[in-house]
């Protein structure tokens, strides 16, 4: 793909589709189009396609309304039919490494290799005292039938998928700090790690990155829709009203609890309900972080960066910081975008940015 080519990244989730179009090189990234649109229920569930025809119709309409160039896009995926493993190999050239990965993959994944799509990324190259070289890789295996569903959606929408990537990799490209040097095979120095957490409607995607490279990923089958549905059941209100309360009232925090148009008792009750619903989510994040720290990884997690629709929940950063005893903030998904030439004002784009994190990371792919 040419360095100056237009690239479109697409993020499909349970209740939303988001896309970002970027043109330029790494030194001059220009956002030329961006859009977010709600999706009807029943088209996606836990990161997988449920209704191919229905999703294709929505995607076709979204593409036209968004004014995106061409007919090709890069897609990010994350669900329980994708397996991610770390593996270690001797220092061999790229062709030999790929053959070795494919040969040994069956021992590392629970999916028959014949039914999987395999890819990998080299995380580090180290040289021991005896001169032997080792490469640590991150192996990704996705069930072929699950991926084919997305391909069918694109085809029925009159589009085509230019590439499919793990959402964790897209998050790392858009959010994490990269190293300022080239890995020359020297032993890696201890680094701090950052947990990148994209909270979607139905799933939460967690990636731990060191120096811009994901070292660990996990998909959690909980998202902000669980908070919304808890409010719907508790207060007997419509989903859209509950979602608005999630954003405007949210969780308990350390600031004033006053919310325009609501009685203090009502605000306190909403805080109580959402705090309880978020506890299970917080516990899953904690277990993922604890598991990461039991593995042989380069750095300890120093902070969490949130993106996705769930990151817009009021006071969620404060709640998770208190629960996990780590700094938590909303990640800047626009940090790699040098210029905004879309139809959105900069203020509008910044409000939308948390929901564009994966799409932007996908559009940044291939710029080097």
304-323 per-position pLDDT tens digit: 999 999 999 999 999 999 99
pLDDT of residue 4: 53
Q: Is 321 helix (H, G, I), strand (E, B) or coil?
A: helix
Arithmetic mean of pLDDT, 166-171:
92
- pLDDT per residue as tens digits for the range 21-66: 999 877 788 999 999 999 999 999 999 999 999 999 999 999 999 9
Global pTM reads: 0.89
Would you say the C-alpha torsion 67, 69, 73, 74 has a positive or negative sign?
negative
Q: Is 142 helix (H, G, I), strand (E, B) or coil?
A: strand
CA angle 364, 213, 81 (to 5 degrees): 85
Kindly report the average pLDDT of the chain as a whole number.
89
**Buried b or exposed e, range 91-130, using 16+ CB within 10 angstroms:** eeeeeebeebbeeebeeebebeeeebbbebeebbbbeeee
pLDDT of residue 295: 83
Arithmetic mean of pLDDT, 92-105:
89
Distance in Å from the first CA to the final CA of the chain: 10
| pLDDT band per the 50, 70, 90 thresholds, residue 179 | very low
pLDDT of residue 365: 57
The answer for 307, left when phi > 0, alpha when psi is -120 to 50, beta otherwise, is beta
Arithmetic mean of pLDDT, 182-186:
40
Arithmetic mean of pLDDT, 159-176:
92
pLDDT of residue 176: 73
Cβ distance 358 to 18 under 8 Å? Answer: yes
pLDDT of residue 177: 67
- pLDDT per residue as tens digits for the range 269-285: 999 999 999 999 999 99
| Range from 180-194, 224-238, 332-346 carrying the lowest mean pLDDT | 180-194
> Is the pLDDT confidence value at 328 over 70?
yes
Calculate what percentage of the chain has a pLDDT beyond 70: 93
pLDDT of residue 183: 41
Q: Which CATH number fits domain 6-78+146-175+333-364: 3.30.479.30, 3.30.420.40, 1.10.3720.10, 2.60.40.420?
A: 3.30.420.40
**Cα distances (angstroms) measured from residue 123 to each of 39, 87, 137, 199, 287:** 36, 10, 5, 25, 23
Q: Is 3 helix (H, G, I), strand (E, B) or coil?
A: coil
pLDDT of residue 181: 32
| Residues paired with residue 142 on neighbouring β-strands, in sequence order | 82, 117
Write out 73-137 in H/E/C secondary structure. EEEEECCCCEEEEEEEEECCCHHHHHHHHHHHHHHHCCCCHHHEEEEEEEEEEEECCCCCEEEEE
Domain ranges of the chain: 6-78+146-175+333-364
| Range from 224-238, 290-304, 308-322, 327-341 carrying the lowest mean pLDDT | 290-304
Whole-angstrom distance, CA of residue 251 vs CA of residue 246: 8
pLDDT of residue 178: 56
Widest CA span in the chain: 70
Arithmetic mean of pLDDT, 358-362:
96
pLDDT of residue 201: 92
**Cα distances (angstroms) measured from residue 10 to each of 15, 32, 44, 135:** 14, 14, 14, 31
Residues in the chain: 368
pLDDT of residue 186: 40
Q: Is 2 helix (H, G, I), strand (E, B) or coil?
A: coil
């Amino acid at each position: 793909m040419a360095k100056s080519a237009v690239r479109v990244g697409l993020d499909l989730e349970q209740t939303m589709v988001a896309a970002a179009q970027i043109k330029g090189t790494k030194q001059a990234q220009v956002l030329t189009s961006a859009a977010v649109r709600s999706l009807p229920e029943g088209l996606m569930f836990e990161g997988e396609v449920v209704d191919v025809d229905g999703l294709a119709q929505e995607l076709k309409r979204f593409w036209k309304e968004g004014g995106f160039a061409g007919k090709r896009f890069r897609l990010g995926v994350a669900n329980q039919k994708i397996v991610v493993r770390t593996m270690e190999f001797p220092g061999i050239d790229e062709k030999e490494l790929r053959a070795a990965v494919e040969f040994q993959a069956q021992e590392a994944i629970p999916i028959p290799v014949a039914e999987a799509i395999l890819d990998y990324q080299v995380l580090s190259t180290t040289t021991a005292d005896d001169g032997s070289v080792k490469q640590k890789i991150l192996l990704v295996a996705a069930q072929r039938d699950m991926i084919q569903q997305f391909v069918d959606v694109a085809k029925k929408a009159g589009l085509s998928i230019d590439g499919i990537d793990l959402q964790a990799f897209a998050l790392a490209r858009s959010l994490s700090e990269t190293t300022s040097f080239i890995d020359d095979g020297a032993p890696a120095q201890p680094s701090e790690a950052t947990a990148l957490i994209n909270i979607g409607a139905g799933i939460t995607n967690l990636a731990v990155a060191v120096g811009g490279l994901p070292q660990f990923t996990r998909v959690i089958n909980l998202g902000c829709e669980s908070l919304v549905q808890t409010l719907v059941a508790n207060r007997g209100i419509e989903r859209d009203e509950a979602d608005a309360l999630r954003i405007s009232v949210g969780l308990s925090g350390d600031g004033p609890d006053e919310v325009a148009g609501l009685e203090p008792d009502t605000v306190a009750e909403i805080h109580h309900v959402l705090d309880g619903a978020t506890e299970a989510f917080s516990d899953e994040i904690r277990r993922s972080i604890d598991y990461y720290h039991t593995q042989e990884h380069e750095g300890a997690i120093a902070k969490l960066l949130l993106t996705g629709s769930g990151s817009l929940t009021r006071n969620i950063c404060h709640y998770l910081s208190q629960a996990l005893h780590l700094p938590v903030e909303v990640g800047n998904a626009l940090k790699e975008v040098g210029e905004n030439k879309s139809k959105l004002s900069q203020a509008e784009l910044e409000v939308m940015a948390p929901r564009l994190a994966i799409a932007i990371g996908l559009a940044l792919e291939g710029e080097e």
